[in-house]
Amino acid sequence: MSEHIITVAGVAVDTRHWIGGERVASTQTFEDVSPIDGSTIGDISRGTAMEAAAAVAAAKAAFPAWAATSRAERARILHAIADGVEKRIEELAIVETIDNGALLRSHRRGVMPRVAHNFRFFADWLLSLEHEDFETRGHTNHVSWDPAGPCVLITPWNAPLMLATWKVAPALAAGDTVMLKPAEWSPLTASLLADIAAEAGLPAGVLNVVQGYGSEIGDALTSHPDVRRISFTGSVPTAKRIAESAAANLTPLSLELGGKSPLLVFADADLDLAVDLAVQQYDNAGQVCLAGTRLLVEEAVVEEFTRRFVEKASALKQGDPRDEATDIGPNIHPRQLEKIDGFVQRAVAAGARAVIGGHRGDGQYYAPTLLTGVAQDSEIVQEEVFGPVLTLQTFTDEEEAVLLANGTRFGLAATVFTGNRERAERITARLVAGTVWVNCFFVRDLQAPFGGSRLSGVGREGGTWSFDFYCDVKNTVTAPSGWRNHG
């Protein structure tokens, strides 16, 4: 076996880049460590500006042929990739669990099947993508979606393959070529995706996977003049740096960034439902951008809500994510754990009270935490923690509820629990958020627009919105007469 192949739970993973249909090694590597126990998984090729340039060149060379490939053929290949994912769900699930610490049961039952669905959905949407022609003073307007060119896709570590394919699938369907840069803390399933895509018949250079640090290979990719689209999911500071790099070339950006989402519970809500879904905000050890981390509860029911919440949250089992009985796994990295604990300890020092949790566990585990006694302008309320930490505040009426809910710099999502339809309509109309759930949570349809407001992002993707971003949308206007050849 090659020195560049590592074995993860019996699955062979190539640690090199995938550029132009070939495996390419770097002279330097970085260590990939499992958050489960801190063990070293392997040494991964560490890309630089040289690998970035090679990937862009490969994507640029492959673009004309892929862009000219028929919609039907592109869709066929995307379905073949989905077939390959479905054949390897178990392998992808265990590798990603070891690499990023998320629950194996979730990877098996939800996340990896969603990866395959991402490819199937955008393949099918491509075949139905159209805009009805319309007339202007007798002239015909025809709207079309032309492939834009090479795309840089930079993806996060909290749901590595699912969030990567949420970008890769529409970009490939649109006829673009791709340079995928996975997060350095969870790079392994992106490498497996390259294998699956090649086996499915995706032409060389259409998908390239490059690994490394954002400050090294990431900056080189986002500042390259031959890149025509950049899509990024991650933190606000990194997004600002990417935007600066893209500005010199006016490269269009799609940015899905942090969240500090409110979860509002009115006195007339189904409290059992509200509590159940509030506890679900600890999913993936709190490493979910959409999580409703700010619980806003009407004063009349806060005591009962808190009692039920504590009872249910205290029953959660934290431990090895490979265990089917585990509810909460580890946080991704020691640096992230330090960040989480820093937020909590500063909040407690400022007067907050930890109703549950408020401390580290063993290794890279952080106890599910609920903080009360927090001020609206406090750091813990205003800044994204990205860990299993929720805050609880109260309100007395709708006006105060909306004021608190909208009272941060973010606007990714919001969740509202109420038994009154008219109230739900009033509240949701005033919330600043890209997605609002009413009496439910995390119901996602790929045809819906997805993105954030304020510091939570720029742009929308999903359904036709994805093709609007990954394509150059063209309008062709044709006069009703003047044809010399009527054949």
* Residue the block writes with tokens 């178990």: 90
127 token code pair: 């075949």
Task: Provide DSSP, 137-170.
Answer: TTEEEEEEEEE--EEEEE--SSSHHHHHHHHHHH
In terms of Cα–Cα distance, which of 77, 94, 434, 427 is closest to 261? Answer: 434
Q: Which residues contact 426 (CB under 8 A, 6 or more apart)?
A: 398
Q: How far is residue 240's CA from residue 246's CA, in Å, rounded to a whole number?
A: 10
Q: Which residues contact 311 (CB under 8 A, 6 or more apart)?
A: none
| First-last CA distance in the chain | 63
Catalytic residue among 51, 96, 184, 289: 289
> Is 256 a residue of the active site?
yes
Q: Which residues contact 471 (CB under 8 A, 6 or more apart)?
A: 145, 146, 147, 148, 174, 175, 176
Looking only at the bridges linking them, the beta strands covering 389-395 and 369-372 are parallel
Crossing angle of the two packed helices 112-128 and 463-470, in degrees rounded to 10: 70
Contact 46, 216 (CB under 8 A): yes
Residue 369's beta-bridge partner residues? 389
> Is 22 a residue of the active site?
no
In terms of Cα–Cα distance, which of 306, 295, 362, 370 is closest to 329? Answer: 362
Contact 125, 152 (CB under 8 A): no
Crossing angle of the two packed helices 71-87 and 188-199, in degrees rounded to 10: 120
Give me the helices (H) in 228-333, please: 236-247, 271-279, 302-314
Q: What's the burial of 364, exposed, middle or buried (CB within 10 Å: 0-12/13-18/19+)? A: buried
Task: Provide DSSP, 420-482.
Answer: -HHHHHHHHHH---SEEEES------TTS-B--EETTEES-BSHHHHHHHHEEEEEEEE-SS-
Catalytic residue among 51, 96, 184, 256: 256
Question: How many helices and strands (H and E) does the chain possess?
Answer: 16, 24
Q: Which residues are catalytic?
A: 256, 289
